[in-house]
Amino acid sequence: MSNIKLSHMNHWKTIPYKQIDNFRDFYYEDKSNIAYYSDWDRILRYHKATGYDGIEIAPWDVADILKLFGTPKDFTDFVKDHGLEISGMFHGADDSYRADKYDEVLAAGKAAVDLCAELGGKHLNTCPCNNYYGVGPLDDEALKNAARVISDIGEYAVSKGIQIGLHNEFFCAVNKENHHKFIEMTDPRYVFYCLDTAQIAIMGDDLLKFYETYHDRICTFHLKDTASIAVPDSIRYDQDVEIRDDGWRWFWEPGEGVLDLEGLWQLVKKYGFKGWVSIEDDGTPDLLASMALSSYYVKEVLAKIYQ
pLDDT tens, per residue, the chain with 307 residues: 589 999 999 998 889 999 999 999 999 998 888 899 999 999 999 999 999 999 999 988 999 999 999 999 999 999 999 999 999 999 999 999 999 999 999 999 999 999 999 999 999 999 999 999 999 999 999 999 999 999 999 999 999 999 999 999 999 999 999 999 999 999 999 999 999 999 999 999 999 999 999 999 999 999 999 999 999 999 999 998 887 777 789 999 999 999 999 999 999 999 999 999 999 998 899 999 999 999 999 999 999 999 9
Cα separation, 84 vs 292, in Å, equals 16
pLDDT number for residue 246: 78
Cα separation, 141 vs 234, in Å, equals 24
Q: Are 183 and 193 in contact (CB under 8 A)?
A: yes
Please state the φ and ψ torsions of residue 8, each to the nearest 5 degrees. Answer: -135, 125
Q: Are strands 163-166 and 275-279 parallel, antiparallel or unpaired?
A: unpaired
Domain layout of the chain by residue ranges: 4-304
pLDDT number for residue 1: 53
pTM for the model stands at 0.96
Cα separation, 195 vs 215, in Å, equals 10
Q: Are 254 and 198 in contact (CB under 8 A)?
A: no
The CATH number of domain 4-304, selected from 3.20.20.150, 3.30.420.40, 3.40.50.1370, 3.30.1050.10 = 3.20.20.150
Q: 202, 190, 196, 256: which is closest to 228 by C-alpha?
A: 202
pLDDT number for residue 215: 98
